[in-house]
Structure 1
Amino acid sequence: MASVDYFDYEPVAEQARIPPDKLASLREVLRAEFPHDDMLFELHVLRACMAVRDGLITLDELLPQVSPAPGA
């Protein structure tokens, strides 16, 4: 598992039943959006996991939405 420094999103990901490979995909996409800001990166991972856990969005809906634009 990756080092968590600011927001402990891993338990929330487990509660949301996000598989490790999907969490890794989410982390990869969000890291690309926040390459130099660990706090914002972890905050967005946490918020995405909470949204899945709370039934506000599914992983299938979420991952395409957070994918970077072509050429980005």
Structure 2
Amino acid sequence: MADKLEAHYQNRVYYFTLKEGKPGEISIDMYSTPYIFVKKGDKWVNHAFNRMDMGDGLIAAVIVAATSQVAL
């Protein structure tokens, strides 16, 4: 899945590539950094193995953009 998408957060646009999306988990590359997000309850959070943690607001914006491409 190498779809280029954009997430809008705090008057900025963040570009990322959707690598994989499946129910409860999503993988992206944003500015050459890989991220994996997992769904815990009603909230999406950083996977424990991520090198860098993304803020909750930007994660939410990424999920909104990604759901336009895949069912999560």
More strand as a share of residues:
2
Larger radius of gyration: 1
TM-score by length of 2: 0.32
